[in-house]
Structure 1
Amino acid sequence: MKKILLPTDFSANAWNATKYAISLYKDEECTFYVLNTYTPTIAHSRFMASAVTGKACEDVVKCNSEKGLKQLLERIEKEFPNAKHKFVPISSFSLLVDEVKNIIEAKNIDLVITGTKGATGLEEVFMGSNSVRIIKSVKNCPVLAIPQYFKFKTPSEIAFATDFNRFYTTSELQPLLEMAKSFKAAIRIVHVQYEIKSLTEVQQFNLNMLRKYLKEVEHYVHTVSELNSVSKTLEVFSNELGIHLLAMLNYQHSYMEKMTREPVIKRMAFHTQIPLLVIPELGMGTPPHSKHKKQGSVTDTLMDQ
């Protein structure tokens, strides 16, 4: 049984992520841990007794959290009844990222699915949001971020962005392979280059190994020239090829790191509205946590499978 963690703040984007998760795994037996965290409101008036006020505030926010989870689960049961799905509410007096990490360890979570705020622009969608904090902090579990207005589509086209500079392990690629096999999806390996040129020996070796790992699924390799920024390039690529989900490995100097650090003025906004699967760096010998050519235009080099 797959174990999914769904952080929620009861917002529209959190509900959209919940709907996506339920739809994505509608045919699989899953336990969904629905998490809401809370902290007491800090009293600003120096005339109020801090001890009494703190306790009162904590009681109020605790009740609101528990009530919100109860209403959310009732809504799920009404709109998405599914005998294969079990929902476990968790109301926690804690900081969100800390509790997410704790639950991943305690419950052996396979995947975290979270909503992202903002309609357009990586700045609005990720920067400073809970999603990017989770992505940067969680080191042993994949995170799937769902844009606020994305309507569910079965992911039959998955893009995997890489520069081939790093050797991937089978453990790190497992979430990507599982997704592709589950939905009979094609994986489009996309390599963004500032200037189109031949791969180095190391890059070619890593590409060959990557294709060996992906031999059981349909896959293609695309080389694209960078348009202003990596994020802008991936946006155009995803739009042109009708990509349903973008996957990246999150490690030092990776595309994911570069995307979250690109200056806004250079980035020209990351308008992609597709889910982003962020796979943590595990390294050699580390088991996964779960059990289980012209500048200014995009050019493709499609290699035979």
Structure 2
Amino acid sequence: MKNILIPTDFSENAWNAINYALALFKDEKCVFHLLNTYTPSIANSRFMASSIQNGVVDATHNNSINGLQAIVKRIKEAHDNPNHSFKNISSFSLLVDQVKEIVAAENIDLVITGTKGASSFDEVFMGSNTVRIIKSIKNCPVLAIPQHYEFERPSEIAFATDFNRFYTASELEPLIEMAKTFNAVIRIVHVQYEIKALTELQLFNLNMLRKYLKDIEHYVHTVSELSSVSKTLEVFSKELDIHLLAMLNYQHSYVELMTRELVIKRVAFHTQIPFLVIPELGMEAPSRKKNRKEDQFLIDS
């Protein structure tokens, strides 16, 4: 059974992410952890009565609980899938802190969040909350769903890499599982500022990547960089009708590069498709599936 965490602020953008998640996993048994965090604005005045402060917190807390209950009711009216169950989490805390805590406590397999895209300098890369989650969550993949994106079966997946880093089986597990579930083609895309032959290290990493993907139809695309890596991936995804863009998040990765270049150039990453960010786990990280089997053995015994 999968554990999926979906933060929500009760906006239509967040509802769109929930809809996508329900459609993506409609044939799998899942527990969806619906999270709403709240931090009510309370004047920091020693003259304000504590009873008034408590009243503000209580009202905000009730609004959060009622909002989550309304979301579950809306879900069951629209989908009513016996494979799916729901757990509501209302928390007086900061979003990223609570996401990190739940990921660890509930063995979360995937965090799915809606993103409005850039609306100001502070939200230059997919929305500030999404970026904070991506940068802070080190042990769980994050799937960002663009505003207004309607679910489409991800039969074409792009995996962007520069081949400068060796990928482990545990890191590639979310990508491979997604491809196998939807019988998808994986298009490995390498963006180069200047087209040139791969180094020995890059060739080794490419060959290892292809071994991991041996049971999945896949192709390698080397493309010339346009004005930026982000723009290049946008154009590539559009031209090849990609349904999901995936990247591994590590030091000097495309994720880090795109975040930096977008801030510097004051431009937005206008991807219109879901964006899967896979965390760096390292060589010693065990498979999450293996962990589940061990956990089940302990329970059964």
TM-score (normalised: structure 1):
0.91
- Compared with structure 1, are the counterparts of its residues 97 and 231 closer, same or farther at alpha carbon in structure 2 (3 Å cutoff)? same
Question: Is the counterpart of residue 48 in structure 1 residue 39 in structure 2?
Answer: no
* Separation in 2, partners of 1:38, 1:119: 23
SS of aligned partner of 2:157: strand
Q: Using the TM superposition, give the Cα deviation of residue 53 of structure 1 relative to its aligned residue in structure 2, in angstroms.
A: 2.8
- Compared with structure 1, are the counterparts of its residues 263 and 30 closer, same or farther at alpha carbon in structure 2 (3 Å cutoff)? closer
CA contact (8 A) 1:125 1:147 kept: no
**Root mean square deviation of aligned Cα:** 1.9
* Separation in 2, partners of 1:232, 1:82: 38
Question: Is the counterpart of residue 113 in structure 1 residue 118 in structure 2?
Answer: no
* Separation in 1, partners of 2:227, 2:52: 52
Alignment of 1:240-259 (within 5 A): 240-259=239-258
- Compared with structure 1, are the counterparts of its residues 121 and 247 closer, same or farther at alpha carbon in structure 2 (3 Å cutoff)? farther
- Compared with structure 1, are the counterparts of its residues 87 and 191 closer, same or farther at alpha carbon in structure 2 (3 Å cutoff)? same
* Separation in 2, partners of 1:178, 1:122: 36
SS of aligned partner of 2:284: coil
Q: Partner residue of 2:296?
A: none
- Compared with structure 1, are the counterparts of its residues 228 and 248 closer, same or farther at alpha carbon in structure 2 (3 Å cutoff)? same
Q: Using the TM superposition, give the Cα deviation of residue 57 of structure 1 relative to its aligned residue in structure 2, in angstroms.
A: 1.2
Question: Structure 2: which 5+ residue stretches go unaligned?
Answer: 293-301
* Separation in 1, partners of 2:121, 2:163: 24
CA contact (8 A) 1:114 1:146 kept: yes
Which contiguous aligned blocks of 4+ residues in structure 1 show a shift greater than 3 angstroms? 44-47, 118-128, 263-269, 288-292
Question: Is the counterpart of residue 104 in structure 1 residue 103 in structure 2?
Answer: yes
Deviations 1:152-176 (A, max 9, x none): 1010000000000000000000000
Question: Structure 1: which 5+ residue stretches go unaligned?
Answer: 293-305
Question: Is the counterpart of residue 17 in structure 1 residue 13 in structure 2?
Answer: no
CA contact (8 A) 1:117 1:129 kept: no
Letter in 1 for 2:24: L
Q: Larger % of helix: which?
A: 2
Q: Partner residue of 1:232?
A: 231
Q: Identity across aligned pairs (percent)?
A: 71
Q: Partner residue of 1:85?
A: 84
CA contact (8 A) 1:122 1:271 kept: no
Q: Using the TM superposition, give the Cα deviation of residue 137 of structure 1 relative to its aligned residue in structure 2, in angstroms.
A: 0.3
Deviations 1:269-298 (A, max 9, x none): 322210000000001111245646xxxxxx
Letter in 1 for 2:251: Q
Q: Using the TM superposition, give the Cα deviation of residue 127 of structure 1 relative to its aligned residue in structure 2, in angstroms.
A: 5.4
Deviations 1:104-132 (A, max 9, x none): 11110100000001378997463552111
CA contact (8 A) 1:123 1:269 kept: no
Q: Using the TM superposition, give the Cα deviation of residue 246 of structure 1 relative to its aligned residue in structure 2, in angstroms.
A: 0.2
TM-score (normalised: structure 2):
0.92
Q: Partner residue of 2:6?
A: 6
What is the number of equivalent residue pairs in this alignment? 291
* Separation in 2, partners of 1:92, 1:248: 30
